[in-house]
């Protein structure tokens, strides 16, 4: 099965690339009426902003879930004490009483 997120993000990035090329072309066009040029550049920037937002949303909505951690299956019985745990109530050097 195709990766929907990857295909969608690639399509949006390709569209954005071509819109950015058009923006550069418009900015460098010396034959365009100045007011029309400003309007067309503003429109291109809107399209690029929408594509940026769509890419961000696609990344957010199609985020891959982190692998689920298995719940701790081993529960300790009162008789089981971890091997490296200090014994309870034993007085250590420098202590005046057991804890």
Examine the pLDDT at 85 and tell me if it is beyond 50: yes
Domain containing 54 equals: 4-61
State the Cα–Cα distance between residues 68 and 83, nearest whole angstrom.
Answer: 28
- In a domain? residue 68: no
State the Cα–Cα distance between residues 41 and 95, nearest whole angstrom.
Answer: 77
Other CB atoms within a 10 A radius of the CB of residue 32 amount to 15
Most confident of 44-48, 65-69, 71-75, 82-86: 44-48
The answer to whether the predicted template modeling score (pTM) of the entire model surpasses 0.85 is no
Q: How many domains is the chain partitioned into structurally?
A: 1
- In a domain? residue 46: yes
Contact in structure between 8 and 56 (CB atoms under 8 Å)? no
- In a domain? residue 15: yes
Query: Which residues lie closer than 8 Å to 51 by C-beta, 6 or more apart?
Result: 12, 15, 16, 19
Confidence band, pLDDT 50/70/90 cuts, at residue 83: low
- In a domain? residue 48: yes
């Amino acid at each position: 099965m195709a990766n929907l997120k990857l295909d969608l993000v690639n399509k949006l990035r390709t569209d954005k690339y071509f819109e950015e090329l058009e923006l550069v072309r418009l900015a460098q066009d010396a034959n365009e009426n100045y007011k029309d040029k400003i309007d067309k550049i503003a429109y291109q920037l809107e399209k690029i902003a929408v594509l940026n937002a769509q890419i961000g949303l696609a990344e957010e909505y199609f985020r891959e879930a982190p692998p689920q951690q298995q719940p701790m299956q081993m529960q300790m019985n009162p008789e089981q004490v971890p091997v490296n745990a200090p014994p309870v109530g034993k007085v250590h050097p420098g202590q005046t009483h057991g804890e």
